[in-house]
Amino acid sequence: MSSPIFLSSGDVIADRRFEWARDREAKGDLTGAADLLMQALELAPSYASAWFMLGELRERLGDRAGAVAAFGQAKAADPQDVHGAALRLTRLGVRSGGAMGEGYVRALFDDYAPRFDQVLTVGLNYRAPELLFRAIEGVHSDRRMKFGSVLDLGCGTGLAALPLRPFSDWMVGVDLSSGMLVQARTKGVYDRLIEKEILAFLASEAEIGAHYHLVLAADVFMYLDDLAPVLHAVAKVMDSSGLLAFSVETHENGDVILRDTLRYAHSEAHVRAALVASGLNPLSLDFASTRVEKGVPVPGLIIVAGH
pLDDT tens sequence across 133-179: 999 999 986 667 899 999 999 999 999 999 999 999 999 999 999 99
Model confidence at 4, pLDDT cuts 50, 70, 90, reads: low
Residue 237 reports pLDDT greater than 60: yes
**How far lies 182's CA from each of 151, 200, 216, 244, in Å?**
18, 21, 20, 25
CA distance 19 to 17: 5
Say what the pLDDT of residue 142 is. 61
pLDDT tens sequence across 264-298: 999 999 999 999 999 999 999 999 999 999 899 99
Say what the pLDDT of residue 46 is. 95
pLDDT (mean) for 235-259: 93
Nearest partner of 270 among 82, 97, 27, 16, judged by Cα: 97
The three-point CA angle 255-258-263 to 5° equals: 115
Model confidence at 1, pLDDT cuts 50, 70, 90, reads: very low
Q: In this structure, what is the dihedral angle of CA atoms 199, 303, 249, 280, given to the nearest 10 degrees?
A: 40
Mean pLDDT of the chain: 92
Half-sphere exposure of 295 (CA within 13 A, CB side): 0
CB distance 243 to 291 below 8 Å: no
- Listed in sequence order, the residues at least 6 apart from 110 whose beta carbon sits closer than 8 Å to its beta carbon are 177, 178, 179, 180
Half-sphere exposure of 68 (CA within 13 A, CB side): 9
pLDDT (mean) for 43-71: 95
**How far lies 176's CA from each of 77, 194, 250, in Å?**
22, 8, 24
Coil, strand or helix at 249 = strand
- Listed in sequence order, the residues at least 6 apart from 19 whose beta carbon sits closer than 8 Å to its beta carbon are none
What helix, strand, coil percent values describe the chain, rounded to 5?
50, 20, 35
Say what the pLDDT of residue 141 is. 67
CB distance 288 to 301 below 8 Å: yes
pTM, full prediction? 0.88
Q: What percentage of residues in the chain have a pLDDT greater than 70?
A: 96
- Listed in sequence order, the residues at least 6 apart from 21 whose beta carbon sits closer than 8 Å to its beta carbon are 33, 34, 36, 37, 40, 50, 53
Range of lowest pLDDT (28-32, 94-98, 207-211, 230-234):
94-98
pLDDT (mean) for 189-217: 96
Domains of the chain plus CATH, in order, are: 12-96 (1.25.40.10), 112-306 (3.40.50.150)
